[in-house]
A and B are shown apart, each in its own frame.
Chain A
């Protein structure tokens, strides 16, 4: 499928912003949705809306089938024995902290994190630390990369390693294969934050060897409000339900309850049914894409932006190696990032500013925030050129 055909199936990309063609480069925050996803959700609400899992009527059956189809696709696409459907990456990581952490960690046990983590992979562990007094060790970042020597030291006596696969700030793809291998040699469980990874590569979960993998639908053309935690069988058996309610039980008496044995034991309450239907459509659509080819094009476009910014005296923090995501984080020496981004928006160009929910990484870089242009599979060189032209206009206005 050619570039223009990809763009054509994203209706939002045909709109104008402030009188200009929309150039959407905030994909690390959320991606746009192809027509098939929009149609799938509208179709579900128009024809099959019902609650799932118990009622015997036709609509309930269709809704259950639609919801569970998403789980089947997740398991098949990522080669995962278990796929717990959550509200997103954040809830998935909190689920690990509560359902696995509380059942398997106690005072003094060590959890290894990195300075590159998103807040969603730091705060749940700090909260658990406050609650059961575990020890947190942070692997430092040197020159935008994980310090693997320090990582090896931090592993000593650890119970769990939590690591971001691909940085949402820098686009850096961490050496997760090596991280997992080192952890496995020491019998340490691994949680992979793959929120920025799965939009760009289809990960074979079992082959990679992590114990948990968390990600969100909305960063890969799916709806907001839904994500997943993939778990291997051995680790799944170590997890205890922490959120109680409907749908996760087997029996309830006034004396106590027993719980479902499958993923439902971690999905209390009415789940995100239409979102699951939409995500399934997105997964199937992505499955038809040549992600590797898209990645090369995106990276080429991002590199042209990075080069142009550097030529204009702008600091670029992204490495943009062959396996990195096409994310360009940058700062101008004197123009405030918010002013810069607002002036780009006035030209129809959407980028992100701020700390990107990664304040420890910002502290390591010695800054408070960046301007971030993040590419996805509908972005091409035309978008990169529009951004460069937009930057030039900002520089001219601020001269």
Chain B
């Protein structure tokens, strides 16, 4: 698949790292990329279910562009949310719906995660696409 420049950049940055510890540090650095979802907007419908951490994501559309807002109590989950933010924010709904989560595998991201966190990533990805479908 031809990835967007933003996603291609993610893949290349992550693939260059050999050490597992540095991969996790880089993952946590991506937490700086997320658009915060204020705690007063946390609710049952935007709760990420099945995640061992507390995590919420909300999707909005403005000028036909997707805006992902998110929050979590764990830095690594915030990092995953930051990666998803880079992947979807500013794109059209159609572009986001065409996206597949395979880019995370290509990054080598999923190997660095526990199975539950890996599932949490997929759950958040699916939540984003489902919400975009509803808003479109």
Contacts and interface: CB of A to CB of B under 8 A. Distances in A.
Given A338-B117, A342-B114, A343-B24, 10 more contacts: A18-B20, A19-B20, A336-B74, A336-B75, A338-B76, A342-B24, A343-B21, A346-B20, A347-B21, A354-B52
A343 to B, nearest CB: 6
Interface string A340-375: 001101110000001000000000000000000000
Nearest to B75: A339
A23 to B, nearest CB: 14
B46 interface: no
A173 to B, nearest CB: 30
A393 B20 CA distance: 13
Interface centre among A18, A19, A339 (most CB of B within 10 A): A339
Given A347-B21, A397-B25, A342 B76 contact: yes
Contacts of A336: 53, 73-77
10 contacts: A18-B20, A19-B19, A342-B24, A342-B76, A342-B113, A345-B20, A346-B20, A347-B21, A393-B21, A397-B21
B113 to A, nearest CB: 8
Contacts of A345: 20
Contacts of B113: 342
A335 interface: yes
Nearest to B79: A339
Closest 9 CB pairs of A and B: A336-B74, A346-B21, A346-B20, A18-B20, A339-B76, A339-B74, A339-B75, A397-B25, A346-B24
Contacts of A393: 21
Interface of B: 19-21, 23-25, 28, 52-53, 73-77, 113-114, 117
Nearest to A345: B20
Contacts of A339: 28, 74-76
Interface residues of A, number: 15
Contacts of A397: 21, 24-25, 28
Nearest to B25: A397
A383 B20 CA distance: 20
Contacts of A243: none
A368 to B, nearest CB: 10
**Interface of B: prevailing SS:** helix
Contacts of B114: 338, 342
A218 to B, nearest CB: 21
Contacts of B25: 397
Contacts of B77: 336
A19 B23 CA distance: 13
B27 to A, nearest CB: 9
Interface centre among A342, A345, A397 (most CB of B within 10 A): A342
Interface centre among A18, A336, A343, A354 (most CB of B within 10 A): A336
Contacts of B75: 335-336, 339, 398
A339 to B, nearest CB: 5
Contacts of A338: 52-53, 74, 76, 114, 117
A346 to B, nearest CB: 4
A336 B53 CA distance: 8
Contacts of A347: 21
Contacts of A398: 28, 75
A321 B35 CA distance: 47
Contacts of A18: 19-21
Interface string A312-338: 000000000000000000000001101
A350 to B, nearest CB: 12
A298 B77 CA distance: 34
Contacts of A346: 19-21, 23-24
